[in-house]
Amino acid sequence: MDVRIYQTAAEIGEAAGEVFVQQILDKPDCVLGLATGVTPIPMYTYIGNQCNAGRVSLKKVTTFNLDEYCNLPVTHRESYYAFMHRNLFDHTDILEENVHLLNGNADDFDAECEAYEKAMAAAGGVDLQLLGIGTNGHIGFNEPSDEFSDGPFKVKLTESTITSNKIYFDTEDEMPRYALTMGIGDIMRAKKIVFIATGEGKAKAVYDMIEGPVSPKCPASILQNHKDVIVFLDKGAAKLLK
């Protein structure tokens, strides 16, 4: 893993955003894997600004998001569909037909996951995947488990994830307990990965990911086996690294 440490979240936004801009300039019809959360917001702002400045166009880009809550209307501000439009898509020239998110309101979740896997394969696979990390080491919504997953699946969120994410909802009951997520196999099939983490709250998960054993107990640790991962950290997130 190529680990790079920065002073501020804003610097990470620019540096990681520039990897995405270069990817789009090198291959205008590339396939991007995208993530949600507070961490990537500066990066999405940077990409939106570069697009508005005319430096890069997302007109031919295809995107696949990592995950989506189950049974939350896409119109809800905390749906990942709404998040992605608010923080990135609405500030670029991407075509809506090229945007893909798992449908957390599908009647048949298995069929939805199967169709998503097929759509990713038909698009030629993900060229560049963005990842953040949960405080429990999750990537996408691949929670700590006894085995690594492969394709997309429906997951029961852990108490740790519910505690981290419920603060964004008006009431605790509104926070979904299930989500659809790309599997670890999907993430590992991406040709290149950009990983970002900021703040001391992520230090233990980042330590386990980089210096711990490769184990589904810390799903992010599988990234030790990927040949092209750039890890962008601030000092807080890098605090426990040797």
Q: Residue 158 has what DSSP assignment?
A: P
- Does residue 127 touch ligand GLP according to CB under 6 A? no
Site for ligand GLP in 130-169 (CB under 6 A): 132-134, 140-141, 161, 165
Q: How far is CA 52 from CA 14, 56, 58, 86, in A?
A: 15, 8, 11, 15
Binder among 9, 30, 31, 35 for ligand GLP (CB under 6 A) = 35
- Does residue 37 touch ligand GLP according to CB under 6 A? yes
Q: 190: helix, coil or strand?
A: coil
- Does residue 67 touch ligand GLP according to CB under 6 A? yes
65, 87, 98, 136: the catalytic one is 136
Q: How far apart are CA 177 and CA 85, in angstroms?
A: 23
91 CB burial (10 A radius; 0-12, 13-18, 19+): middle
Least separation in angstroms between residue 31's CB and ligand GLP is 18
Least separation in angstroms between residue 13's CB and ligand GLP is 12
Q: How far apart are CA 24 and CA 128, in angstroms?
A: 10
Q: 178: helix, coil or strand?
A: strand
Nearer to ligand GLP by Cβ, of 56 and 232: the residue is 232
Q: 64: helix, coil or strand?
A: strand
Binder among 23, 36, 63, 98 for ligand GLP (CB under 6 A) = 36
Binder among 34, 56, 66, 101 for ligand GLP (CB under 6 A) = 66
- Of the listed pieces 14-22, 31-39, 111-119, 228-236, which binds ligand GLP according to CB under 6 A? 31-39
Give the pairing type, strands 192-197 and 229-234.
parallel
**Binding stretches for ligand GLP (CB under 6 A):** 35-39, 66-67, 132-134, 140-141, 161, 165
Catalytic residue IDs? 67, 136, 138, 143
